[in-house]
Structure 1
Amino acid sequence: MSHEVEAGDEFGERLKAYEGRSAAVARPGKDPVNAPMIRHWCEAMGDTNPAYEGPDAIAPPTMLQAWTMAGLSGHTGRAHAYEELLTLLDEAGFTSVVATDCEQEYLRPLRPGDEITFDSVIETVSEKKTTKLGTGYFVTTRMDVRVGADLAGTHRFRILKYAPLRQTDQSGRRPRKKPARPRPVVNRDNAGFWEGVQRHSLLIQRCTGCGTLRHPWLPGCNACGGLDWDTVEASGEGAVYSYVVMHHPPFPAFDPPYAVGLIELAEGVRMISNVVGVPYDKVRIGMPVRLEFQAHDDELVLPVSRAREEVA
């Protein structure tokens, strides 16, 4: 019998005891808000809003978490309650993790030169939940970002720490069938996109106020702030703008190594998809690609980018 079963409700109570515990108090960001990071962010996102440039520039609000990130070297100081909680879950067999969603609230613009601090608290730990990925616990943290005494914004981040499902046949052996691919997070802001994908149509949002196209789907326009929009269907033509090759961590539903590309569509927006039809080590920036739709099972259809050129 696993530790998870033996612990039962007692284990859940141990996890619940972490609710309300601080994960960080007045921790400073590693860098001040600065123009180079804003520029890199905007280039990666294809965001040309003039509010992010010049002497009166502000940082894109969605960068809120970026100013708190620890980087490869991590934050200095003792291990905090959040790390203790994750270690406890790991030791109980809930070793896999997937980010499920985040929410941000913006109260004050951040500007180059601002020195931020942040407080982080473990807001909630769910009861044990069984999902298509496996059984585990949803952990939500809340981070309050400040400049001096002013609250600039709040970031809530939720993960699922889980033990992957291990199905067996009648003989007790695990089947050879490949596990199902993880499902995308579908919410009220992007449901129309995924409905289009199911019909093998890639829909791009278009602001009805200024005509600006945007992807991924957002509730408002980055260019004019308008909330009204319609859609245009992508032609399917594009090119590799950038890419990475995934080697680690292994996950049973995937076959690393494989290439994941940032694809610039002919319409001018960018999207992320796997690059197929060419060996992963032959993918190149600028390589022309064509949109395809791959059905992974009866429910899941995903857009991919197939290389259009022969590679020796």
Structure 2
Amino acid sequence: MTGGESDRFHERLRAFEGRPAATAGRGKDAVNEAMIRHWCEAMGDTSPAYTGPDAIAPPTMLQAWTMGGLSGHTDRSSAYDELLALLDDQGCTSVVATDCEQEYLRPLRPGDEVTFDAVIESVSPRKTTKLGTGHFVTTRMNVRANGEPAGIHRFRILKYAPAARPERGREARPLPERGHSGAPSRPRPVINRDNQGFWDGVREHKLLIQRCTACATPRFPWLPGCNACSSPDWDTVEASGAGTVFSYVVMHHPPFPAFTAHEDPAEAGGPYAVALVELAEGVRMISNITGVPYDKVRIGLPVQLEFLRVDDSLELPVFRGEAG
């Protein structure tokens, strides 16, 4: 498809923006204690806010109450099916869910009847990924509880034409995106209104941890409310940077030149360690381990925070291991 053809096709896709994806949807079950219990057990969440006579549902269950299950829903619009069929006709026959965003407007409680409407919010221009070439489709679902606005759920998929597989024995590494200096660029972090303050701190070489002002519980990653007492009020404390490796994995495949275990361009694309670091303040975060070879990382390894500039426009908090 030429550039002009791609632009014209994208205009056809954009004509679907604003059209309904689902109308007058109704949750198959009211918010109920059994589903809340199963969710909390699966997530290992023991917050008292989700049990007892004043229980609320975990906010991240927002989508669970709208799902159609194996039998599906009857409220899906023809516009959404037409959009997917149009992409199918252009060879974009594969689909993968990429990410979702949620906004919480009021707590859901057992007994609430959930209804929803969804709209096709946006269709991206043609994008090329490692999976293949296609378009990102974002839907926005407005969720109500007993008729009151309860939350907004945005869900994004990539509808794509699968990339050709290289011949066995002749596999070539894809060329990575590069920054202004010519060095490979890492993927950008997702920054939104809930974690903006964290990234503002990173720019000032501060690792900021949220702290509930009602019960003083620290939390990471950043969340809009306390998972211990449900208070929405919080401030921040700056981490000392001291920590230990609580758990880790070593990434071998797929190779990606923007990540390196030894901070040496000659080693770009080699294995590297990703660790769950337990900070002295009592919270855990995921980051890279630097300063020691990936095969020397161990549980209990002492680490110290540092800020690593990974390309022209991105600096990240990482942890330098103290080799024994």
Please state which band the TM-score falls in when normalised by the shorter chain: 0.5 to 0.7
- Contact in 1 for aligned 2:184/2:311 (Cα 8 Å): no
- Residues 259-278 of structure 1 aligned to structure 2 (within 5 Å): 259-278=273-292
CA distance in 2, matches of 1:117, 1:246: 42
SS of equivalent to 2:286: strand
Quick check: 1:221 aligned with 2:230?
A: no
- Residues 286-301 of structure 1 aligned to structure 2 (within 5 Å): 286-301=300-315
CA distance in 1, matches of 2:84, 2:185: 31
Quick check: 1:102 aligned with 2:116?
A: no
Name the stretch that deviates more: 192-201 or 237-246. Answer: 237-246
- Contact in 2 for aligned 1:52/1:58 (Cα 8 Å): yes
Query: What letter matches 1:105 in structure 2?
Result: Y
CA distance in 2, matches of 1:190, 1:161: 28
What is the RMSD of the two structures over their aligned residues, measured on CA atoms? Answer: 5.0
Q: Deviations over 1:153-184 (max 9, x none)?
A: 4411346889999889xxxxxx9944212222
Quick check: 1:84 aligned with 2:45?
A: no
| Deviation for aligned residue 1:34 | 4.4
CA distance in 2, matches of 1:177, 1:37: 46
| Deviation for aligned residue 1:306 | 2.7
The alignment's TM-score, normalised by the length of structure 1, stands at 0.66
Partner of 2:198: 193
Identify unmatched segments of 5+ residues in structure 1: 169-174
CA distance in 2, matches of 1:82, 1:262: 44
| Deviation for aligned residue 1:11 | 0.8
Partner of 2:49: 51
Partner of 1:38: 40
Q: Deviations over 1:175-219 (max 9, x none)?
A: 994421222233343233222212322111223343222222234
Equivalent residue in structure 2 for 1:184, among 189, 193, 196: 189
- Residues 139-288 of structure 1 aligned to structure 2 (within 5 Å): 139-143=137-141, 153-158=151-156, 177-247=182-252, 251=256, 253-254=258-259, 255=269, 257-280=271-294, 283-288=297-302
CA distance in 2, matches of 1:274, 1:59: 34
- Contact in 2 for aligned 1:15/1:85 (Cα 8 Å): no
SS of equivalent to 1:296: strand
CA distance in 1, matches of 2:89, 2:255: 20
Q: For the structure 1 residues 42 and 140, does the alpha-carbon distance in structure 2 shift closer, same or farther, using more than 3 Å as the test?
A: same
Query: What letter matches 2:8 in structure 1?
Result: E
Identify unmatched segments of 5+ residues in structure 2: 73-79, 164-173, 260-268
Quick check: 1:61 aligned with 2:59?
A: yes
Q: Deviations over 1:102-159 (max 9, x none)?
A: 2323555255x999898765332256799xxxx9865321246689999864411346
Q: For the structure 1 residues 284 and 268, does the alpha-carbon distance in structure 2 shift closer, same or farther, using more than 3 Å as the test?
A: same
The alignment's TM-score, normalised by the length of structure 2, stands at 0.64
Partner of 1:7: 5
**Which structure is larger by alpha-carbon Rg, 1 or 2?**
2
Name the stretch that deviates more: 236-245 or 277-286. Answer: 277-286
Name the stretch that deviates more: 274-283 or 228-237. Answer: 274-283
Partner of 2:168: none
| Deviation for aligned residue 1:307 | 2.9
CA distance in 1, matches of 2:155, 2:39: 22
- Contact in 1 for aligned 2:50/2:56 (Cα 8 Å): yes
| Deviation for aligned residue 1:278 | 4.2
Query: What letter matches 1:294 in structure 2?
Result: L
Query: What letter matches 1:60 in structure 2?
Result: P
